[in-house]
Amino acid sequence: MSVVDSALAQIHQLQPYQPGKPVEELERELGIRNADKLASNENPLGCSPLARAAIENALDDIWLYPDANAWYLKQALAQKLGVDENQVTIGNGSNDVLDLIARCFLERDTEAVFSRHAFLVYSLVTRACGASARVAAALPADHAQAYGHDLDAMLAEINERTRLVFIANPNNPTGTWVARAALESFLEAVPERVAVVIDEAYFEYVDEQDYPNALDWLATYPNLIVSRTFSKIYGLAGLRVGYAVSSAELCDLFNRVRQPFNGNSLALAAAKAALDDDDFVLRSRQANSHGLQFMRRELAARSIDYIPSAGNFVSAKFGSGTMQVYQGLLERGVIVRPVANYELGEYLRISVGTEPQLERLFAALDDIL
């Protein structure tokens, strides 16, 4: 038996995350220039100028280890969110936070529950721990929240082996969201021994009136964990900063498995500064709202079906020709994301870009279609 064969069985069964190629490599392969990347739900406005300045200031101490406890960022988050510092866990992106949570609750003979078209990392962290995934049926295609979370179906999957439930609100890649009353009723029905993660990576973009802030429920539900990120509206995807807010007792558990120095000095400084840039966040929200309206209008004008989204992306349906459209867009310098790995093979997920980027997208679609 080789050393590879001796690795844990659950690791052999995993399918690794498939990232897209670097933009420069795609340009080289396809013979194109100045491609627009609308594939990863990044902020098209870039990052806060306050964050950029903080990075420059932090360079002077780059030879020192970072703050292992993210002291100043946790202070800033606690003040911003109205929680205690001992309720905040910092991760190397919110993916790292999700992995920390899974390792605290999951092992062989335990289970995690999530929806059929939910974020892929939920399945990865569950199976990496040797646990089983109970995948609940999603809402039907003709529902107002097409392919979104069916909370009744998720509740029905919870049993004595369940330790963890993941809910993305809004969900990636569908953009669907769960309203306040429905989500609170779900939390009320889940046994207290089962941890519930509400993943709010796109929280700051949502304009829907009945969209909840899950932090409001932390005092009521001690099994609740809320995860968020600096990768989306704050424009710091390349620095990898995410966080979870929970009870102090759960936070203590997460910090027992968290690697020291899991946030680098530049990332911690940039994230703290970004929290203070309300003007940048407001401009980002406004640009996203405008972009979503533009995309909805242009998709409808071309009779292209799409899933209504509360995030900074839209999944549009191209049917049996989806991959031909994807390739055609690539050849015209527009990079989007196929989502067949989410069992949505007839859809392409398209990030909200700037107005010139979206005009280029639809001109390319007209050329292809």
Helix (H, G, I), strand (E, B) or coil at 365: helix
Please give the DSSP secondary-structure letter assigned to residue 332. Answer: T
Q: Which of 275, 302, 326 is the last residue of a domain?
A: 275
Give the CATH number for residue 23.
Answer: 3.90.1150.10
CATH number at residue 108: 3.40.640.10
Domain assignment present for residue 96? The answer is yes
**Are residues 13 and 113 part of one domain?**
no
Helices 322-331, 23-30: crossing angle, 10 deg rounding: 90
Q: Are residues 334 and 239 in the same domain?
A: no
Residues 310 and 196 in one domain: no
Q: Is the domain of 242 the same as that of 360?
A: no
The verdict on 217 and 328 lying in the same domain is no
Could you tell me the strand order of the sheet in which 337-338 lies? 306-307, 313-317, 347-351, 337-338
What are 44-66's pLDDT values in tens digits?
999 999 999 999 999 999 999 99
What integer pLDDT is reported at residue 33 of this predicted model? 76
Domain C-terminal end among 240, 275, 310: 275
**Residue 1's pLDDT is what?**
73
291 and 151 in a common domain:
no
Look at residue 110 and tell me if it is in a domain: yes
Tell me which residue range forms the domain holding 322: 9-34+279-368
pLDDT score, position 21: 63
Q: How many CB atoms lie within 10 A of CB 135?
A: 20
String of DSSP letters for 20-56: PPPHHHHHHHHT--S-EE-SS---TT-S-HHHHHHHH
> Would the pTM of this model clear 0.75, i.e. be above it?
yes
Please report whether residue 2 resides in a domain: no
pLDDT at residue number 28: 72
User: Which residues in the chain show pLDDT less than 70?
Assistant: 3, 5-7, 14, 16-21, 25-27
Residue 64 has a pLDDT of 95
User: In the chain, which ranges are continuous DSSP H helix?
Assistant: 9-12, 23-30, 49-58, 71-81, 94-105, 120-128, 151-157, 180-189, 248-257, 265-275, 278-301, 322-331, 355-368
pLDDT score for 2: 77
Residues 137 and 235 in one domain: yes
End-to-end, the C-alpha distance of the chain in Å comes to: 53
> Do 284 and 185 reside in the same domain of the chain?
no
Which amino acid is it at 182? A
| 224, 332: one domain | no
133 CB burial (10 A radius; 0-12, 13-18, 19+): middle
Out of 229, 259, 275, a domain closes at 275
Residue 44 included in any domain:
no
- For residues 70 and 26, membership in a common domain is answered with no
